[in-house]
Amino acid sequence: MKAIHSPADLAINGAPPAFDEQLHVGRPNMGDRDAFMRHVEDIFDRRWLSNDGPLVQQFEQEVAAHLGVKHCVAMCNGTIALEIAIRALGMEGEVIVPAYTFVATAHALQWQGITPVFADIDPATHTLDPSAVRKMITPRTSGIIGVHLWGRAAPVEELQAIADEFGLKLMFDAAHAFSCTHGGRKIGSFGACEVLSFHATKFFNSFEGGAVVTDDDELARTMRLMRNFGFSGLDQVSYPGTNGKMIEIAAAMGLVNLKAIDDVIAANRANYRAYREELAGIPGVRLVEYDEAERNNYQYVILEVAPDCAIARDRLVDTLRAENILARRYFWPGCHKMEPYRSLFPHAGLLLTATEAVADSVIVLPTGQTMDAAKIAVVGQVIRAALLSP
């Protein structure tokens, strides 16, 4: 780790990089290794590896209890969980989603012949703008998927009011929002259901994994059938299902990591506050702030680079990456500019001005258990030096 004193010290100008090791966005947060190994021993002893095993059942109970919801239906990943939730809710035709999200939100619809209709976001929150949602409703609209981007709740009440007014299904992509609250209530029980991702890069991981959480008994029952080929008995199939099951080793990781989440939140919160201090007062860049009145997981440290900043967003990303700070441009350029949506809806961007402005300005910085205040101080020095040498 080297101190950066001036623009001349930047790797992009031929100096050695600030860090010997690469700093990643999405470095996995890990719980107790020995506790995980004990689960592995048990899995070997039991010879029960998949298909609703005891660890998956325990995992579902613990996640449901943590979120205060009736049902957690664990799945192999968040994308399959989205697909199953969408199908179980009977969404069809057109479904309104933000374009400023990970592309899986849109793909989960398109994959099953449903058209994702992109509505603009509120540039202040990066989540769906309810007035933009209203504008996109047509006779073919069957639902809305709100995304709690960066762990910040979508406008839950406003979207529910629109859904009720037009008779639409409402669900949430809560892939970023595990253990976060909205109005003091844990995210997980808003809308008809909410979808979680436990991917390696998420605040809380089970290597790969996902779940749908809901208070709706019937919906949960349908989703359990769907994730297991539609089997309702030993030789009885009552639904055209798929294979969305979580495996035992994933549940083991999830159980161990669940015990560690308060430590991870403490580390993420300390990192976020260190970034806030380091980056305060730098003209042209702004750290997107968390609402401290809510419980946050602080998994994403988001920097917005203003259009009039001394250095363009992409140049700053290149400068950071040259220093081994592997910042990301999530979720650039927006789903509407990715295939097949770019070809299907070439003019979608005309109604997505906030989406495009935000997608062009965001940099996601490394955080998590592998970061600390000393590293963040150097990241801050790199950013300051880069802005001094436009």
Distances (CA, A) of 331 to 197, 282, 334, 362, 364: 16, 24, 6, 8, 9
| DSSP-derived secondary structure letter, 280 | T
What CA–CA distance (Å, rounded) separates 95 from 92? 7
Pick 200 or 310: Cβ nearer ligand T4K: 200
3-state DSSP assignment of residue 170: strand
Question: Measured from the CB of residue 54, what is the shortest distance to ligand T4K in angstroms?
Answer: 23
Pick 332 or 387: Cβ nearer ligand T4K: 332
Q: Which backbone phi and psi does 98 adopt, to 5 degrees?
A: -75, 150
Question: Measured from the CB of residue 7, what is the shortest distance to ligand T4K in angstroms?
Answer: 26
The three-point CA angle 142-144-150 to 5° equals 160
- Residue 79 binds ligand T4K, judged by CB under 6 A: yes
Residue 346: which residues within 8 A CB-CB, separation 6 or more?
Answer: none
Matching residue, tokens 């639904």: 239
Pick 26 or 241: Cβ nearer ligand T4K: 26
Helices (H), the chain: 33-46, 54-67, 78-88, 104-110, 130-135, 156-166, 217-227, 248-259, 261-279, 313-322, 341-344, 353-359, 373-388
Per-residue contact string for residues 199-228; x = within reach of ligand T4K by CB under 6 A: xxx--------x------------------
- Residue 329 binds ligand T4K, judged by CB under 6 A: no
Per-residue contact string for residues 95-134; x = within reach of ligand T4K by CB under 6 A: ------xx-xx-----------------------------
End-to-end alpha carbon distance in the chain: 24
Q: Applying CB under 6 A, which part among 76-84, 151-159, 248-256, 302-310 lies near ligand T4K?
A: 76-84
Pick 79 or 387: Cβ nearer ligand T4K: 79
- Residue 338 binds ligand T4K, judged by CB under 6 A: no
Which residues from 12-41 bind ligand T4K, rule CB under 6 A? 24-28
Which residues from 147-166 bind ligand T4K, rule CB under 6 A? 147
Question: Measured from the CB of residue 303, what is the shortest distance to ligand T4K in angstroms?
Answer: 16
Q: Applying CB under 6 A, which part among 6-14, 195-203, 232-240, 345-353 lies near ligand T4K?
A: 195-203
Using CB under 6 A, count the residues that bind ligand T4K.
23
What CA–CA distance (Å, rounded) separates 220 from 227? 11
Question: Measured from the CB of residue 103, what is the shortest distance to ligand T4K in angstroms?
Answer: 8
* From candidates 326, 358, 371, 386, binder to ligand T4K by CB under 6 A: 326
Q: Applying CB under 6 A, which part among 71-79, 151-159, 252-260, 312-320 lies near ligand T4K?
A: 71-79
Distances (CA, A) of 166 to 118, 122, 162: 18, 22, 6
* From candidates 17, 53, 78, 188, binder to ligand T4K by CB under 6 A: 78
Q: Applying CB under 6 A, which part among 7-15, 77-85, 232-240, 348-356 lies near ligand T4K?
A: 77-85
- Cβ atoms within 10 Å of 103's Cβ, excluding its own: 17
Question: Measured from the CB of residue 196, what is the shortest distance to ligand T4K in angstroms?
Answer: 8
Q: Is beta strand 362-365 parallel, antiparallel or unpaired with respect to 325-326?
A: unpaired
Which residues from 168-187 bind ligand T4K, rule CB under 6 A? 173, 175-176
- Residue 188 binds ligand T4K, judged by CB under 6 A: no
- Residue pair 374/2 in contact (Cβ under 8 Å)? The answer is no
| DSSP-derived secondary structure letter, 308 | T
Pick 102 or 290: Cβ nearer ligand T4K: 102
Q: Is beta strand 236-237 parallel, antiparallel or unpaired with respect to 285-287?
A: unpaired
What CA–CA distance (Å, rounded) separates 362 from 123? 11
What CA–CA distance (Å, rounded) separates 278 from 272? 10
**Closest-CA residue to 353 (of 93, 135, 114, 104):** 135
Question: Measured from the CB of residue 55, what is the shortest distance to ligand T4K in angstroms?
Answer: 19
Question: Measured from the CB of residue 128, what is the shortest distance to ligand T4K in angstroms?
Answer: 12
- Residue 77 binds ligand T4K, judged by CB under 6 A: yes
Residues in touch with ligand T4K (CB under 6 A): 24-28, 77-79, 101-102, 104-105, 147, 173, 175-176, 197, 199-201, 210, 326, 330
